[in-house]
Amino acid sequence: MRVDHPHRPKLTLADGVPLLEIERLEVSYGGIRALKGIDIAIKPKEIVAMIGSNGAGKTTTLKSVARLLPIKAGDIRYAGKSIANVAVETLVGMGVSLVPEGRAIFPNLTVRENLELGAYLHRDPKTIKDTIEDVVVLFPRLGERMKQEGGTLSGGEQQMLAIGRAMMARPTLLLLDEPSLGIAPKLVVQIFESIKRIAEAGVTILVVEQNTRIALKYSQRAYVLKTGEIAMQGPSAELAQNEEIRAAYLGG
């Protein structure tokens, strides 16, 4: 999978600098404090999971990073630079892509047209062609359905399309919101295997996931959110053995 964007300056980080750093982040909806000063740091090429109950603040965190929500306090830094006031389209050009909860594909457009929309920052036809070929290698089913409308795909295939569309921008940081939602278990494993291959190609991944078992299996580290705060964090393998986590999220 080619991830370097031919028209984007190569990203270089000083030793020890996280690719994504969230510092004392606060976000409010009206009078409700959705995030209460959370801190998260993600190293380049990591898969990091955020787990927790509904309403814990996981999606709010992703939307804040993607600049879809205003920040009340704190900062978000990407490659050492604050992106707290960066416009969404600028952020995509910097190498950050979001796959939203519910996939949000265009149901009346074909698979190819959906993918091409993900490449709107590209202007080079060869780059678009090469990236579509990479997406098809990642998700062969999409190659078989290029002329099919997105709305006719299964839930799992739509999720593949949503991830593929995000990969058309050749991101450095991929944000995934509930990639297993509403998908058959067999396809969930396939999708997470593809996420693993994306990370192996050099993409850093922050994934919000209700399926705690699979989230901890495929990530290196994880953060547990509870009512807008970080309740626990650590290596995923250790959290998977934690009695509190097992009781709350893994059925004992």
Give the model confidence (pLDDT) of 56-82 as tens digits. 999 999 999 999 999 999 999 999 999
- pLDDT of amino acid 131: 92
Give the CA angle between residues 86, 92, 95 to the nearest 5°: 105
Tokens representing 172? 């450095």
pTM for this structure?
0.92
> What is the C-alpha separation between 18 and 5, in angstroms, rounded?
20
Inter-helix orientation angle 155-167/185-200, to 10°: 10
Q: How far apart are CA 182 and CA 241, in angstroms?
A: 26
Cα distances from 163 to residues 27, 125, 193, 196, 198, in angstroms, run 26, 20, 13, 12, 10
Q: How confident is the model at residue 6 (pLDDT cuts 50, 70, 90)?
A: low
What is d(CA 207, CA 200) in angstroms, rounded to the nearest whole number? 15
Angle at 193 between CA 245 and CA 90, to 5 degrees: 90
C-beta of residue 19 within 8 angstroms of C-beta of residue 189: no
End-to-end, the C-alpha distance of the chain in Å comes to 38
Give the pLDDT band of residue 16 (cuts 50, 70, 90): confident
Please name each of the domains of the chain with its CATH number: 16-95+172-181+188-252 (3.40.50.300), 105-170 (no CATH)
Residue 251: pLDDT band by 50, 70, 90 thresholds?
low
In this predicted model, what pLDDT tens digit does every residue of 130-187 receive, in sequence order? 999 999 999 999 999 999 999 999 999 999 999 999 999 999 999 999 999 989 888 9
CA distance 170 to 54: 30
- Using DSSP's 3-state secondary structure scheme, residue 107 falls into coil
The whole-number average pLDDT for the span 198-210 is 95
